[in-house]
Amino acid sequence: MFVYIIIFMEEVKITNMVKFYTVLLLLEGPKTGYEIIKETGAKMGKNTSPGQIYPFLKTLEEHGYIDASEPAAREKVEYRLTASGKKFVNNMISRFGEIIKIAIEPSLSTCAHCGCKVYEGGHKEDIDGKHYVFCCCHCAKAFREGRDE
Please choose, out of 44-52, 63-71, 72-80, 137-145, the segment that lies near Zn ion by the rule CB under 5 A: 137-145
Residue 139 as a binder of Zn ion (CB under 5 A): the answer is: yes
Are residues 78 and 32 in contact, defined by beta-carbon separation less than 8 angstroms?
yes
Residues 72-111 that bind Zn ion (CB under 5 A): 111
Are residues 135 and 122 in contact, defined by beta-carbon separation less than 8 angstroms?
yes
Displacement of CA 58 from its chain's centroid (Å): 23
Distance (Å, rounded) from C-alpha 112 to C-alpha 141?
11
Please choose, out of 5-13, 55-63, 73-81, 127-135, the segment that lies near Zn ion by the rule CB under 5 A: 127-135
Please choose, out of 16-24, 60-68, 90-98, 134-142, the segment that lies near Zn ion by the rule CB under 5 A: 134-142
Are residues 29 and 35 in contact, defined by beta-carbon separation less than 8 angstroms?
no
| C-beta closer to Zn ion: residue 82 or 109 | 109
Residue 140 as a binder of Zn ion (CB under 5 A): the answer is: no
| C-beta closer to Zn ion: residue 98 or 148 | 148
Given 5, 108, 114, 127, the residue binding Zn ion (CB under 5 A): 114
Query: Which parts of the chain fold into alpha helices (H)?
Result: 2-10, 17-28, 33-44, 50-62, 83-104, 137-148
Residue 135 as a binder of Zn ion (CB under 5 A): the answer is: yes
Smallest distance, Zn ion to C-beta of residue 78, A: 53
| C-beta closer to Zn ion: residue 14 or 135 | 135
| Residue 10 CB coordination number (10 Å) | 9
- Nearest in space to 89 (alpha carbons), one of 4, 3, 9: 9
- Residues within the interface to Zn ion (CB under 5 A): 111, 113-114, 135, 139
